[in-house]
Structure 1
Amino acid sequence: MTQVDLALEVNCDDHSKVPSLEAFQSWVEQALMTAGDAREEVELSIRVVDSDESQAFNAQYRNKDKPTNVLSFPADVPEFIELPLLGDLIICAPVVAKEAAEQGKPELNHWAHMTVHGCLHLLGYDHQNDQEAEEMEALETQALAHLDIPNPYLI
């Protein structure tokens, strides 16, 4: 199993609904395992933010002036430098809470889904077309099933 060195930074008002470092750790490890990532160690950071900060990042990097659930920033390390950096995830706590409520699923399950989803983006998976979306959703569903979380696309 890949050793994951995870940094978690919480920059939102309500810390009480943010999952534990251990929960994030297990979700990241499952995403990597499901995707078949064979690295011995991986470093990544997760920053939990409020809607304003998410909106600012989304506007700056995706030209979308609204908050979003998760943003993924893969590490840009030259191939000749051997560092275990995977990248950074920015997860918006209020958007995750709102989406979970709208979709009628436990908030913790949605946190897990967004973490797995973001990690797959860091590994190069995307959903720009139907074929990519099907592949990525299948991996997400498989990873979440190993965590005893129902398929998020059936809810």
Structure 2
Amino acid sequence: MTTPKLSLSVQYAIAAVGLPTRQQFRIWLKTALQRNVRVVLRIVDENEGRALNKQFRGKNYATNVLTFTYIDNSNLSEINYDLNEDSVKLTDDIDFIYGDIVICAPVTAQEAREQQKELQAHYAHLIIHAALHLQGYDHENTQDATAMEGLEVLLLDKLGYPDPYLTTPSVKNLS
């Protein structure tokens, strides 16, 4: 299997403490990709995050991550994860998947604090989650959510990050 190509443009529309570097985003995305992807990743504030969430999802609050795919992914073949090969396999003839990922930095930081997670681990999780959405995964029903979450956990483990769905904090409480 050839290594998927990634064309990544990162837009930092906000200056915030703890933002990952372009290289970190690249590593996280490449870990989850089994398709060639061209993606713009935009890091935004709460106002822009809220506006985009309202415009595209009809929800008037900033969410942690939004993913926009610019192909008809209803025609994507089944995505299968082979535990023996540690790889996602898509069997179709699409050369590139195009997409945008929007991460709201303040929401991400707030969630990490509230869930007692390391900020970089939370960013890695959101990027892996978004990358899977780009490739056709969703979590609209229990079966799909279970499959997607299982793959997220596996990929994060490959990167050395803890299971984001565990209730035990991944960082020590400093208070």
Counterpart residue type for residue 115 of structure 1: I
Q: Distance in 2 between matches of 1:50 and 1:135?
A: 31
Q: CA RMSD in A?
A: 1.9
The aligned counterpart of 2:173 is none
Check whether the contact 1:77–1:83 (CA below 8 A) recurs between aligned residues.
no
Amino-acid identity (%): 40
Question: 1:43/1:19 Cα in 2 relative to 1: closer, same or farther (>3 Å)?
Answer: same
The one-letter amino acid of 2:53's match is N
Q: 2-side partners of 1:58 and 1:106: how far apart?
A: 25
Mapped pair 1:21 → 2:22: yes
Measured in 2, the distance between the counterparts of 1:83 and 1:18 equals 31
Q: Deviations over 1:104-139 (max 9, x none)?
A: 010000000000001111111111111011000001
The 3-state SS of whatever aligns with 2:67 is strand
Counterpart for residue 71 of structure 1: 66
Select 1:109's aligned residue among 121, 135, 153: 121
Secondary structure at the counterpart of residue 162 of structure 2: coil
TM-score normalized by the length of structure 2: 0.79
Structure 2 residues not aligned, in runs of 5+: 76-93, 168-175
Q: State the AA in 2 paired with 1:53.
A: E
Q: Contact conserved, 1:86 with 1:123, CA < 8 A, in 2? A: no
Partner residue of 2:79? none
**One-letter amino acid matched to 1:18:** L
Shift of 1:76: 3.0
1:1-155 equivalences under 5 Å are 1-14=3-16, 16-32=17-33, 37=34, 39=35, 41-76=36-71, 84-155=96-167
**Higher gyration radius (CA):** 2
Count residues with an aligned counterpart.
Answer: 147
